[in-house]
Structure 1
Amino acid sequence: MKKIRLIAIGKLKTPFFKEAAKHYLWRIQHHLSFEEVNPKDADPKLPVAEAIKQEGQNILACLKSSDIVICLDEKGKEFTSEAFANFLEQISENQSFCPTFIIGGAFGLSEAVKKQAKYTISLSKMTLPHELARVFFLEQLYRADAILRKSPYHHV
């Protein structure tokens, strides 16, 4: 089965986001080999630029040479759910490489992380809180897999 990684800054703190993420992780892990890595978020007392830089370093330390880095950023390419499923299928063809999605902290991703990306995708043109972005991404990952499996979860 496909291996997918998610590197997302920090642990979810808001209870309803934690529960929603847990729900989709449970569903995902029935069908995909999925790993979530949560590098530490920056000290909230740091200036924004320094926080972004520190979180970027924490993310870069988690990357492996086999990762296909895909940054989630509002300026990235948007997909329909079906197109995202096709994208996921395409980048998962070579089992030697692992699609690795990256979600930054509250202030986004550092330029150093963005430079590592082979792809940059957007969940929405609207700005999402990073905790909501994580849940939204997990649901779309589950949906993409359901589309590829021809599961009735995605009914259009």
Structure 2
Amino acid sequence: MKIIILSVGKPKDVHVVSLAEHYFKRLRSFVPVVLESVPEAKDPLPSKKVEREGVGLLKNLRERDFLVTLEERGKCFDSREFAEWVQTSVERTPGRVVLAIGGAFGLSEDVRRRSDFSLSLSPMTMPHELCLVFLMEQLYRAFTLIRGVEYHH
């Protein structure tokens, strides 16, 4: 199993980049993980922007990838439930698990249709840069719970 975190755009804020790198290093001690991104589309119309970004996301997928889309209408877990889901769903996937984070206007319908699971980190809307950090921290927390490493209180 390998985790691919696929996002639209790269974090620009130095503080977000620093936090993302921090959790990326921690997460790598538990699981092979790769950060990939597709460029943000340059289009004045949000609907066109989402569609173009969706094409970019889909081009990065392989046929057998287990795709998890992150969006506010997805399944919401507390940290322990998320760890259980990671253990039963993610750890048992033989190939790549791709966690896709959309851009400022979300994910295209084509990406949603391709999704194997829709995950919500919160019912609140958050910037996609913060979503990346929050996701990596929760994945790290999940693996510490699964492996019995002290971190979660």
Equivalent in the alignment of 2:122: 124
* Alpha-carbon offset, residue 66 of structure 1: 2.4
Counterpart selection for 1:52 from 43, 50, 53: 50
| Pairing partner for 2:136 from 106, 120, 138 | 138
2:40 is the alignment partner of 1:41: yes
Deviation at 1:46, TM superposition (A): 2.6
CA distance in 2, matches of 1:94, 1:153: 23
Q: What fraction of aligned residue pairs are identical, expressed as a percent?
A: 36
Moved over 6 A (4+): none
TM value normalised by structure 1: 0.93
Contact map agreement 2:9 2:39 (CA 8 A) in 1: yes
Q: TM-score, normalised by structure 2?
A: 0.95
Q: Structure 1 residue 97: deviation in Å?
A: 2.6
Structure 2 unmatched ranges of 5 or more: none
The Cα shift of 1:125 comes to 0.5
SS at match of 1:38: strand
Would you say how many aligned residue pairs link Structure 1 and Structure 2?
153
Alignment deviations for residues 61-103 of structure 1 (CA, whole Å, 9 cap, x no partner):
0001221111000001100111111111112344523221110
Measure the CA separation in 2 of the matches of 1:92 and 1:107. 27
Alpha-carbon distance between aligned partners in 2 of 1:144 and 1:112, rounded to the nearest angstrom: 29
Secondary structure in structure 1 of the residue aligned to 2:130? helix
Matched, 1:17 2:11: no
